[in-house]
Structure 1
Amino acid sequence: MKKYFENYLRNRCSGKDFESFIELFVDKKNQPVLEQQMKENWEETSQGGATPDLSSTLHKIHFEINSQEKSTGKSPYFLTYLTRIAAILLLPLAVAFFFQWQKSGQPDEMLQTVSTPLASKTSFVLPDGSKVWLNSGSSIRFPQEFDGDERLVELTGEAYFDVQKSEQPFRVKTAHFTVDVLGTAFNVLAYDNEIPAVTLERGKVTLHTKSKKQATLLPGQQAVVDTIGHEIALTEVETKLFSSWIDNQLILKDEPLGEVVARLERWYNIEINVIDQSLMEKRMTASIEFESIREVMELMELTLSIHYEYDKDQRKLNISKANN
């Protein structure tokens, strides 16, 4: 295992070696050894900082590979999808999680960036002991040590924070708003192409927009931010619907198809095109854990009266009206 692992990292794998490595990887009894190799590589190549929790990602990759190998029927793209997982997602994702170091404006201050590709997520502990879960297609930047007047992190995408209490304020900065807290647990949704929102599970947070509008959230409340007028709308919600992803669950409750598609694209790292826009009015309720995309699409065919096909030339799923 170690030999194959090192050869892969150094781009010295032959086709046969790579196939052998994949066979070793999908054997679950080798997972502890692989995790240890990943962590050792991180410690050897990094300049310090948090080590990501790789267990949920390994679980996800194992499930996807095993399910795609076993799949049959009308989904011929799954073998291609398996190859893509192995070649693109497998080790570059799990080994590095795109940890990056860069100098800030102050020469002695180091900033650390953690990013997660699509179809993956990770969790880690910040320098102050606060825990962060980072969802797919997201990025967060923070200093090596919180030694100033505030604990500032910058987020693009989605993250769940369980903040360690301190007199030093904790602040999450996004493109459209900033969240100020002292000690609490909350979810921040701030993808570039989605309506941003903050959902509070416990404690209290204050949200500030660029136009100086602000709102204070209590447990069970969600703040949705208008990115044009920067207005804030507060509603009562089921917080579990917005934080279940940290437990490897995607819970959909009467969600419009447009939002469902956006979440599935990130969850499975696949492009989905809705051909008939009238379908956007349909709504879906489901709980997804480790089901394959094929299983999810077949469920949608049954419950939403749609039809899906995979376009192998453009590498995307197309959704259209079902032929009755």
Structure 2
Amino acid sequence: MKPYELYTVEDFLEDEHFREWVQGRGTQEVFWLAFRERYPAQQEAFRQAEHIIRAAHVEDSRISEREIRAEVERFIGQSGAQEGDLEFSFPDDDDDAGRSIFWKRWLIAAAAVLVLGAGIGWHYYQTNHTAPGIATADTSPPNLVTTRNDTDKTLKISLNDGSEVILSENSSLRYPSEFEDGARVVYLTGEALFSVKKQGQTFMVHTGKVVTKVLGTRFVVSAFDDDREIRVQVQTGKVSVYVDKPSEKEVKGLIITANQAAVFEKSANQLSKTVVENPERLPDGPVESILKYDEVPLPVILRDIEKLYGIPVQFDADSFWTCKITVAFSDESMYDKLSILCKTVSAGYEVVDGQIIVSGQGCSK
């Protein structure tokens, strides 16, 4: 077993399983997530190594090529001067010292090429790139860590406040390596599921013009540049959604709760509230998931559905109180339940502003 209690930054960088985990390709997810609690003395080295590996995606700085080359030479010079003072060995392969030196030199060379390439790449982009169509303006601050998911699987990101982000494919998230005093702010392009740890600081997700603001909850944000709309869907808790910089046409903010969604239509600059496509039962709901009724007034059943999914259901209670229903629900979707009830009493329903509106003539006495 490797002597993890003695691990340094260099040991983490040389550990192939650690590198793969940071890059979202590893198979030891549980082990590395629990590492800092098991080896508290290695927390700082763990954090520094993780940031170094993620640094391959740090946004490019606007510096000249001359400054870039000088920085690379300084970096290589300092690393070379310190090489003799450091001893490296693989915990499971003490005889293969050459492999350890190889990895250290490889990391130094890779970092140097990265810094130089980032500067040259930025210069090329600025002078030669023209984005087709309408591009989303990047208003995020510089020097943020950027994690991009170019794989065909989701990628888990653990933020330093304890929050977790499940990043979808072809998506990227920009965030500070450590949240400072004030709001916790991240910048998303694409789609991600956020599980925000509740703290005194608000947590804000910027997606182009739209800002999602929460204290602690679970929600999905979908904001691909090519999509016509930005969508925020709440799984648990409550979030606030608003437009960061409204145009001349006023756009009001919204409060959405579980199974509701906020939709911002880019072309119309319009923000609206709706119900998610597949509402899920609330995990701690006060109503049993299996609903059985024998000659029960329809308003009672509708209120149970409202509590089961957390979505407001509006109807005329007086008109429907004489409608007695006998039915047993189990795995049907919320919409299927509503369809069955409405057909029974010749009524109908529609989704309006994040609510369910049931209408009909009711039942005769």
TM-score tier after normalising by the smaller chain length? 0.3 to 0.5
Q: TM-score, normalised by structure 1?
A: 0.44
More strand by share: 1
Greater length-normalized contact order (CA 8 Å, ≥ 6 residues apart)? 1
Larger radius of gyration: 2
Q: TM-score, normalised by structure 2?
A: 0.39
